[in-house]
Structure 1
Amino acid sequence: MSTSKKLLVAAIDFGTTYSGYAFSFKHEYDVDPTKVTSNNWTAGSRGLISFKTPTTVLLDQNKKFHSFGYAAEDKYSDLAEEEEHHGWYYFRRFKMMLFQKKGLKKDIMLKDINDRELPAMLIFSEAIRFLKSHLMDTLDKRATGIQLDDVHWVLTVPAIWDDAAKQFMRVAAEKVLRSVSMMTLEVADGCHSDMKCHRCKFRTFLNYQYEYQKHAGIDTDNLSIALEPEAASLYCKHLPVEKISGCDSQNFSAFSPGSRYLVLDAGGGTVDITVHEVNSNGTLKELQKASGGAWGGTQVDESFRQFLIKIVGANILVAFKDQCTSDYVDMLREFETKKRSVKADTGGKVTIKIPISLKELFEEQTEEDIKECINCTPFAGKVQWVGDKVRIHSDIFKKLFENAAENIVQHVRKLFKEQDLEGTNTILMVGGFSESALLQDRIRQAFPSPAYRVIIPSEAGLAVLKGAVLFGHNPTTIASRVAKYTYGVSTTREFDPATDPSDKKKRYGNMYRCVDVFSRHVQKGQTLVVDEAQTERKYTPVYKDQTAMSFEVFISDDSNPRFVTDHCCQRLGKINVDIPDLTGGLDREVWVKMIFGGTEIKVEAREQRTGKITTARFDFLD
């Protein structure tokens, strides 16, 4: 049964390469959880139909949102054809910034395809707003009667992301709501030049109120964050056997109580890996902290770029991007299609369409024949460039996948050697990159049957998206997780001259205290039960007139760090707890309780004297 209080659950899978949305009604979930509806997207220039659209955002010269996905790609190509793209902002595959950036802040900037910068929060917000508005428009066209307040939203994020990146996504989703709400009030308070009466002003207010309801952002109270491999695991757990490659009805136990399996979520940017065990009641528990790396499909794209550089040179490829932007965009789309279609048993040569403008640019600037230049490279006899087609020997093409595949294989091998994963021999492959026959073949070679079993759902690329909808209906299906780090806060305690270093000694009034103490709340590797407080720590103010306490939150790879300044520690953010009642002076004990079992950290603060409980504010982006 769905535990959601909303009529409909909608999920947005915001991917590195592709994004999309899916939804299901509460009554549908109760009858058949797998009945999840996703949208079909059309690439206008080619008529392609897909369940997701490219994660591409286009803004005009005034930094105003223009389009998203295939529409953004096609519009930018059209502009480039007419040499009118200068001044426009074209962002693609920007999600990886949240994984790669340490010390993430709200005001961080993002570079577009031409290295022009805009606030990252703006671009992420516009992308989420578009997908949300597109979904609401779809529901309107179907005459479902669903309003914004009837929907519970779910955003997917990689499990290997840190807490700051998760908060960034939440703020980006909520930010649009605030900005549009302010715009609505602004218009309501004034009157258009051609509207002189109260009735006209009232009508104007209603019009903008309708736009607010239809196109606002996502209220944070109606938003959940789902971890991608977990979502995929939930979806596959509900699928019938015939929809999962590698399973048969006579010997199917991958999702039965007591079984264990490794979830290999290979997406466009990252590969996200976690290991689940099925509890007796059907819920899932995580056996090991989520891990992975930047080994997704974009690493294959980088290998292709390096392949071209070895033939034409880096300077020519940059000039091609700048001078023939439309052709450059088409080339990227062509390769994205090709890398999904090549099979493991493909022999002979693979043909890729490369705009002839690249060949012409190379020969014009170097005054050399590209065919002769290829003969001077390691690709002699294995690559032919004729007109707008490049014929690549299948072995060379398959090597483009080598780095990504090898990184994945080595990491999975390392995990299977861990003591707490003993007996685990099933690999569940999900994510868009898992649809690659070449990656599937490499995984099966590395983990052959019957010692291992590799299973792949029929819609591996949609498993995360549809599973996120199931998570929104019943998030308690994930019973427990494993702490990726040791979490603690920076605090002070009475200075002990016998054990504490002198540089940690600081005077507060008439007493000396030891500063930068790591007050541990959760230990790395600890099992965290969902919605259960793992620890509760007592803190007191250091000044009598203190009306708030701010705790610096730190993480560590060490199990028990002593000070937050230790080399193994990294600042994550801060918690703010209000203590407005000054009665009691320094004798105002506050118990801080952190709940780590969910996809995001929750904090509660309880004043011991009054018993008052408040939800503390977490800020990882300050």
Structure 2
Amino acid sequence: MLSHYSDFEKDPCKISSHNWTAASRGLVSLKTPTSILLNPQQEFESFGYEAEDRYTALANEDLHHEWFYFRRFKMMLHGSLGLKRDIMVKTFDNKKELPALKIFSMAIRYLKDNLLTTLNKSVEILADDIQWVLTVPAIWNDPAKQFMREAAQKAGIKEDNLLIALEPEAASMFCKYMPVEKGEHSFQSFQPGSKYMVLDCGGGTVDITVHQVQKDKTLIELYKASGGAWGGTQVDEAFRQLIVKIIGNPIFLKFCDENAADFVDMFREFELKKREFKGDGNKKVTIKVPVSLKETFEKETEETIQDALTQTAYSSKLTWTADKLRISGLLFATLFEIATGNIIEHVKKLLKEPAVKGTTNIIMVGGFSESHMIQAKVKEAFPNMNVIIPAEAGLSVLKGAVIFGHLPKAISARKAKYTYGLATMTKFVKGKHREDKKETIGNQVKCKDIFSVHVEKGETLELDKAQSERSYNPVEPEQKEIIFQFYITDSDDPMYVTDSGCTHIGKMVVKIPDTSGGLDRQVKVQLIFGGTELKVKAIIEKTNQEVTAKLQFLDKK
């Protein structure tokens, strides 16, 4: 997606899109799967639909075994608080692995180069002339965001040219500039003070944020971003489990191993049926399944697939003939139950939060929100809410990210998801501090592992404002850098970083090269939380000199 500044000034929603083609299905789409294919020499071959088609063609000829095919790899960053730079990602067949940073950077480089190639057909533009925006789920943690930033830099995007946008926020900004549905309800009619919930249902994750419109038309986050891995892939997993219950997991794994192309085709077919399904329990859903799946089962078990069906609870709800699987609407609807159940339960819980009470609008965005089934379930669960679905729900995040690139300060305040702090030492006080935390350094008795809180969970974080400021001293006179270990917790008032629930997510390194002050070199550290990424600033108090300070989430402790 691309927008020129001159166009944005006239019409913020004038955004150019790239058409992706799935040749095997004759499909043209504005989105493409997160799939990438490398040749046996680990060199980039193709991305998206092209990678899927190429891998399928190789598998049909049984030539795919030495190739490296990755799909849906973005999900590996979800929920990984211990994420490190050297993390590996497994191939689609789980038989090989490569550094995840390499795969992410290859994907980003391809997208970057693809755009530049297209643009340079008409006018010469360099990568440095563009403000690049990468989107991530709002529920991702700081290490995952830093991982994406490093992958982008490795792909040739300069640090100052890159913004990280949070997906539900981006969608919210798109809806702000575009009437979201015909009739009287549109985001443009929301007045200052009105609250609304953004329900961003994507392929992997569901991201939920609650915003309020301010007098200056900026938005503030009323409650910390939340959600889970409840996206469209959870429905895919339910379908896989249905097949496994009929034929058994060992046979399903054998089918996947020996018929990789058929596996890809089967789930492409399921994806179409999943999107089309409207929840009609009286209408059967017909899915084309590979004959090789049935043949693998019958060869391994020496019984027919019909015999296997009679031994399950699905015999009256499902028929399997040759390459056709016919599923009753009632059974097909159950494939959505885990995903929709998690979403609805979580939204109900959020609506009870004091800061969220009074919210009357839910805006559904993201590709999974285009599912008629998801829409119906949300409307049914919240009959008193105004559920709004934009005409381009699946593109809201992408288009909103482009708008965010022009207006990065449109979200003026966010909420802290955790209590953040640094591991520090302080003077040991008998009776106050635990004896096992006592440590003698020179002639000083210190208490180690103190959780020095910089921001408390739920605290309002204003954009570009230092929400916290603490002063620290070196513990040795010749010390040229102070290394702080960085921790988070759900607790409101942690004492030690070793307390239950405290998690180490990285370190902060502050350079203090001038040692002339010895121990009397107090450093003022400011953590700036209000943006989409955490920033740090350090100043020598005596001289008011700013010194180098970096947050390193991906290094080992």
- Residue 100 of structure 1 deviates from its aligned partner by 3.7
Aligned to 2:4: 25
> Which of residues 299, 318, 324 in structure 2 aligns to 1:364?
299
Describe the superposition over 1:545-602 as per-residue Cα deviations: whole angstroms up to 9, x where unpaired. Answer: 0011111111111111111111121111111111001111111111001100000111
Matched, 1:576 2:509: yes
Matched, 1:270 2:217: no
Say which SS state the counterpart of residue 121 (structure 1) adopts.
helix
- Residue 346 of structure 1 deviates from its aligned partner by 6.3
Aligned to 2:108: 128
State whether residues 548 and 577 of structure 1, in contact with CA within 8 Å, keep that contact through their aligned partners in structure 2: yes
Matched, 1:88 2:51: no
Describe the superposition over 1:414-464 as per-residue Cα deviations: whole angstroms up to 9, x where unpaired. Answer: 11111111111211100010000000000010011xx21100100111100
Say which SS state the counterpart of residue 199 (structure 2) adopts.
strand
| Whole-Å separation in 2 of the counterparts to 1:394 and 1:251 | 33
Aligned to 1:160: 139
Aligned to 2:335: 400
Aligned to 2:192: 257
State whether residues 47 and 107 of structure 2, in contact with CA within 8 Å, keep that contact through their aligned partners in structure 1: yes
Describe the superposition over 1:348-396 as per-residue Cα deviations: whole angstroms up to 9, x where unpaired. Answer: 2111010111111111111111122212211112211122111111111
Aligned to 1:15: none
Aligned to 1:422: 357
Aligned to 1:317: 252
Matched to 1:128, the amino acid is I
Matched to 1:446, the amino acid is A
Describe the superposition over 1:470-516 as per-residue Cα deviations: whole angstroms up to 9, x where unpaired. Answer: 11101110000000011111111111113111111111111111111
- Residue 252 of structure 1 deviates from its aligned partner by 7.0
Aligned to 2:159: 220
Aligned to 1:172: 151
State whether residues 427 and 453 of structure 1, in contact with CA within 8 Å, keep that contact through their aligned partners in structure 2: yes
State whether residues 472 and 523 of structure 2, in contact with CA within 8 Å, keep that contact through their aligned partners in structure 1: yes
Percent identity between matched residues is: 55
State whether residues 110 and 119 of structure 1, in contact with CA within 8 Å, keep that contact through their aligned partners in structure 2: yes
Aligned to 1:214: none
Describe the superposition over 1:129-186 as per-residue Cα deviations: whole angstroms up to 9, x where unpaired. Answer: 1111111111122x1332212101010000001100000000111113xxxxxxxxxx
Matched, 1:329 2:308: no
Matched, 1:464 2:397: yes
- Residue 615 of structure 1 deviates from its aligned partner by 4.4
Aligned runs of 1:242-253 on 2, under 5 Å? 244-245=180-181, 248-249=183-184
Aligned runs of 1:81-120 on 2, under 5 Å? 81-115=60-94, 116-120=96-100
- Residue 101 of structure 1 deviates from its aligned partner by 2.7
Task: Give TM-score scaled by structure 1 length.
Answer: 0.87
- Residue 251 of structure 1 deviates from its aligned partner by 8.3
- Residue 326 of structure 1 deviates from its aligned partner by 1.1
Say which SS state the counterpart of residue 143 (structure 2) adopts.
helix
Matched to 1:356, the amino acid is V
> Which of residues 511, 521, 534 in structure 1 aligns to 2:454?
521
State whether residues 175 and 187 of structure 2, in contact with CA within 8 Å, keep that contact through their aligned partners in structure 1: no
State whether residues 253 and 259 of structure 1, in contact with CA within 8 Å, keep that contact through their aligned partners in structure 2: no
Instruction: Note closer, same or farther for the CA distance 1:361–1:564 as it changes in structure 2 (3 Å cut).
Output: same
- Residue 249 of structure 1 deviates from its aligned partner by 2.7
Describe the superposition over 1:311-339 as per-residue Cα deviations: whole angstroms up to 9, x where unpaired. Answer: 11111111111111111111111111211
Matched to 1:328, the amino acid is F
State whether residues 229 and 272 of structure 1, in contact with CA within 8 Å, keep that contact through their aligned partners in structure 2: yes
Aligned runs of 1:485-500 on 2, under 5 Å? 485-500=418-433
- Residue 255 of structure 1 deviates from its aligned partner by 2.8
- Residue 114 of structure 1 deviates from its aligned partner by 1.7
Matched to 2:21, the amino acid is T
Matched, 1:560 2:493: yes
| Whole-Å separation in 2 of the counterparts to 1:128 and 1:162 | 20
The runs of 5 or more residues in structure 1 that have no matched partner are: 1-21, 177-216
Aligned to 1:502: 435
> Which of residues 469, 472, 478 in structure 2 aligns to 1:539?
472
| Whole-Å separation in 1 of the counterparts to 2:539 and 2:370 | 49
Instruction: Note closer, same or farther for the CA distance 1:514–1:437 as it changes in structure 2 (3 Å cut).
Output: same
| Whole-Å separation in 2 of the counterparts to 1:346 and 1:234 | 37
Aligned to 2:278: 343
| Whole-Å separation in 1 of the counterparts to 2:22 and 2:381 | 36
The runs of 5 or more residues in structure 2 that have no matched partner are: none
Say which SS state the counterpart of residue 235 (structure 1) adopts.
helix
Matched to 1:483, the amino acid is A
Task: Give TM-score scaled by structure 2 length.
Answer: 0.98
Tell me the number of residue pairs that the alignment of Structure 1 and Structure 2 aligns.
554
The two structures, once aligned, show a CA RMSD in angstroms of 1.3
Instruction: Note closer, same or farther for the CA distance 1:571–1:107 as it changes in structure 2 (3 Å cut).
Output: same
| Whole-Å separation in 1 of the counterparts to 2:220 and 2:200 | 17
| Whole-Å separation in 2 of the counterparts to 1:615 and 1:293 | 36
Say which SS state the counterpart of residue 599 (structure 1) adopts.
coil
| Whole-Å separation in 1 of the counterparts to 2:406 and 2:174 | 12
Aligned to 1:207: none
Say which SS state the counterpart of residue 73 (structure 2) adopts.
coil
State whether residues 131 and 161 of structure 2, in contact with CA within 8 Å, keep that contact through their aligned partners in structure 1: yes
